Structure 1
Amino acid sequence: MQISIKALKSFIKYNVSVAVTFTAITGYIVYAQSINLEILTLVLGVFLLAGGSSSLNEVQEYKYDALMERTKNRPLPTGEFTLKQAIVISSFFILSGTLVLYVQFGIIPALLGLFNIFWYNGLYTPYKRISAFAVVPGSLVGAVPAFIGWTAAGGYVFDATIVFIGLFLFIWQVPHFWLLMFKYGTQYEGAGFPTINHVFSKFGLKKVIFVWVLCTSFIALIIPLFLSQLSFWFFLMVFTLNLIFIGLFAKLAFNTTEEINFRKSFIGINIYMMFFMLMLIGFHLF
C-alpha cells in the first residue's frame, strides 16, 4: 500500500507524538542527570506508542472527525487511508513501540505504555461522548510518558519527584484542552460531543481555566523541593516563569469581554509547559 509521509504524519498526530516523547525525555533526564545513546531507544519506543495510540484514536473517531472542520481532512475521513490500512498502521506502531521499550528497558516502562493506551483509547475516547468533564480523568494520559522516561532510566515509579512532575503535567492538560473549546466548541457539539461550553458561560469558563492555571503553577513551585538538590536560582527562575504565566491568564480571566485571544492564550500555555520542562532538563544536565 502506498502511503504519503504527509498523510502518515497527520494520522499519527506527529506534533502531539513529539510532545509526548519530549515529556518522556524529561522524565529520563531528571533521573539519569545525563544523556546517552540509550535515550534514542526511549525516543523511538515512546514515539511509536504515541503515534499508535493517536492513530487508533482516529480509527475510533473517524466518523465524528468527518463532521468537524478541524478534523475533516484527516486521512480516514478523506479516504486517503482505508479502515484496514489504518488498523494495520496503528497496530504496527503500538506493537513495535511496546517491544522496543520492553527489550531495552524492561517490563515496567512497557506496561506503563500499554496502560496509557488502555486509558486513552479504552476509557477516555469513549467517555468523551458522555461527559464534558472527560478531560479531567483523561489528562492522566499526558502524565504517564514522564513516568515511562523516569522508569526507563532506572527510577522508582512512585518516587515523589516524578509523582509531582506527573501531577504538574496532569493538571496542565485540563486548561490546555478547555482553551480549545473557545475556538472549536461549536464543532465538537456539531459532532455530538458534550462540551464544557454548556456547563459554564464564557465568563465562567475563563475563571475556571484560571483556577486550573493557579493549580498548575502551585505544583510547579513545589517540584523544586523534590529534586536531587535545592537551588535558589532554579526556584527563582521557576517563580518568575509562573508569575508571567499567571499574569497572562489573570488578564484573560478578569477582562470584561467574553471573547479571548485564543492564539495568544493557547501558544502561551504551551510555551509555559515547554519552558518548564526545558528548565528541568537544563537543571539536571548543567
Structure 2
Amino acid sequence: MKEKLKILIELTKFRITSFVTVTTAFGFIAASGSVNMYIIPVLAGILLLACGSAALNHYQERHLDAMMSRTSNRPIPSKRISERNALFVSLLLIVSGSIILFFGAGELALALGLLNLIWYNAVYTLLKRKTPFAIIPGSLVGAIPPAVGWVAAGGYLFDPQIIIISFFFFIWQIPHFWLLLLIFDEDYKQAGLPTLTQIFEKKQLARITFVWVAATAVTGLLIPLFGLVKLVPVNLSLFFSGIFLTWNAFKLITET
C-alpha cells in the first residue's frame, strides 16, 4: 500500500499540484477576504484536476522520460505502473475534479480549470518539442489557478487585482524553468528537445534568467507598495515572494 501511494504521489507530481492548489486558495481568499467552507470543494476540485493533468502528462511524455536520467525513474518508464493504468488514473482524476469543480465552484471556474488542462497537456506539451521558447506561452498554466479561486469566490474575472496577481504567477514560472534548464541541459538535449542553450551560452542564459528573476521580484515588491492589491495577507505573500526571488537571483548570478 505504501509503495502504491508513493507511485501515485510521483505520478501526480504532488508537490507541484499542491502548489497549484495553494495559488488557487490565494485567489479565493483575495476575492472573498476570508477563509470559509466554500473553499473546500474549490481546492478539492482543482487539486484532482491538476493531479489528473500531471498524470496525463506522464503518460504523454513516457518515451521522452525514458531517455533522460532525471526522469527515467518516473513511474511509467521504470515500469512501476503500466501505461494503461496510468492513463486510467489520469482520466479518473480529471473527471472527478471536473465534477467537483462544476458543482462546488461553478461553470466559469470549471471552464478555466479545463482551459488550463488543455493548455498544459495539448498546447505546451506539443510546443516544447518544437521551440525552446515554449515556456513563455506555457507559463499561462501558472497564471490561471489564482483566477479559478477568484471567480469561485464570486470575483469578476477581469478585475485588475486578479490580473495583477495572475501576471505575477505568470512571470514567476519562466525563470523557474530556465534555472532547471541550466542544471539539466544535457538531459533535454539527450531527449532531442530544443533548448535555449542551443541559442545562448550558459553564462548568457544565467544573466537573462537573473534579469527575469529580478523583474519578477520587483513586481512582487511593487504590488504591495503601490496598493494595487487591497488584502493585507496577499500583499505580505507577494512581498516575501519578491524577497525570496531576489535572494535566489543573487545566488544564481554569484554561482554561475
Q: 1:244 to 1:128 in 2, by over 3 A?
A: closer
What code does the residue aligned with 1:123 have? V
Q: Does structure 1 retain, via aligned residues, the 8 Å contact 2:147–2:157?
A: yes
Tell me how far apart the structure 2 counterparts of residues 127 and 87 of structure 1 sit (CA, whole Å).
21
Q: Does structure 2 retain, via aligned residues, the 8 Å contact 1:161–1:223?
A: no
Aligned equivalent of 1:116: 116
What code does the residue aligned with 1:25 have? A
Aligned equivalent of 2:228: 226
Tell me how far apart the structure 2 counterparts of residues 234 and 65 of structure 1 sit (CA, whole Å).
37
What code does the residue aligned with 2:163 have? V
Q: Percent identity?
A: 40
Residues 69-218 of structure 1 mapped to structure 2, 5 A cutoff: 69-218=69-218
Q: Deviations over 1:146-203 (max 9, x none)?
A: 0011111111111111101110000010000100012111011101111112121121
Q: Deviations over 1:220-256 (max 9, x none)?
A: 2343322236x7x997996676456435424533x4x
* Secondary structure at 1:37 match in 2: coil
Q: Does structure 2 retain, via aligned residues, the 8 Å contact 1:167–1:219?
A: no
* Secondary structure at 1:55 match in 2: helix
Q: Does structure 1 retain, via aligned residues, the 8 Å contact 2:143–2:169?
A: yes
Instruction: Tell me the CA shift for residue 87 of structure 1.
Output: 1.2
Aligned equivalent of 2:43: 43
What code does the residue aligned with 2:217 have? S
Q: Does structure 2 retain, via aligned residues, the 8 Å contact 1:217–1:242?
A: yes
Aligned equivalent of 1:282: none
Tell me how far apart the structure 1 counterparts of residues 99 and 150 of structure 2 sit (CA, whole Å).
18
Point out the more displaced range, 205-214 or 22-31: 205-214
Aligned equivalent of 1:264: none
What code does the residue aligned with 2:208 have? V
Tell me how far apart the structure 2 counterparts of residues 252 and 111 of structure 1 sit (CA, whole Å).
38
What code does the residue aligned with 1:220 have? G
Q: 1:219 to 1:8 in 2, by over 3 A?
A: same
What code does the residue aligned with 1:23 have? T
Q: CA RMSD in A?
A: 2.3
Runs of 4 or more above 3 Å deviation: 233-245
Q: Does structure 1 retain, via aligned residues, the 8 Å contact 2:221–2:243?
A: no
Tell me how far apart the structure 2 counterparts of residues 238 and 103 of structure 1 sit (CA, whole Å).
31
Instruction: Tell me the CA shift for residue 120 of structure 1.
Output: 0.3
Q: Does structure 1 retain, via aligned residues, the 8 Å contact 2:220–2:241?
A: no
Aligned equivalent of 1:263: none
* Secondary structure at 2:194 match in 1: coil
Point out the more displaced range, 234-243 or 75-84: 234-243
Tell me how far apart the structure 1 counterparts of residues 85 and 103 of structure 2 sit (CA, whole Å).
27
Tell me how far apart the structure 2 counterparts of residues 179 and 16 of structure 1 sit (CA, whole Å).
16
What code does the residue aligned with 1:62 have? R
Q: Does structure 1 retain, via aligned residues, the 8 Å contact 2:150–2:157?
A: yes
Tell me how far apart the structure 2 counterparts of residues 219 and 40 of structure 1 sit (CA, whole Å).
30
Tell me how far apart the structure 2 counterparts of residues 147 and 86 of structure 1 sit (CA, whole Å).
29
* Secondary structure at 2:77 match in 1: helix
Q: Does structure 1 retain, via aligned residues, the 8 Å contact 2:25–2:146?
A: yes
Tell me how far apart the structure 1 counterparts of residues 125 and 96 of structure 2 sit (CA, whole Å).
22
Tell me how far apart the structure 1 counterparts of residues 238 and 45 of structure 2 sit (CA, whole Å).
30
Q: 1:151 to 1:219 in 2, by over 3 A?
A: same
* Secondary structure at 2:146 match in 1: helix
* Secondary structure at 2:76 match in 1: helix
Q: Deviations over 1:111-165 (max 9, x none)?
A: 0000001100010001111111100100000111100111111111111111011
Structure 2 stretches of 5 or more lacking a match?
A: none
Tell me how far apart the structure 2 counterparts of residues 115 and 34 of structure 1 sit (CA, whole Å).
27
Q: Deviations over 1:17-38 (max 9, x none)?
A: 1011010010111111111122
Residues 243-258 of structure 1 mapped to structure 2, 5 A cutoff: 245-246=245-246, 248-250=248-250, 252-253=252-253, 255=254
Tell me how far apart the structure 1 counterparts of residues 34 and 79 of structure 2 sit (CA, whole Å).
45
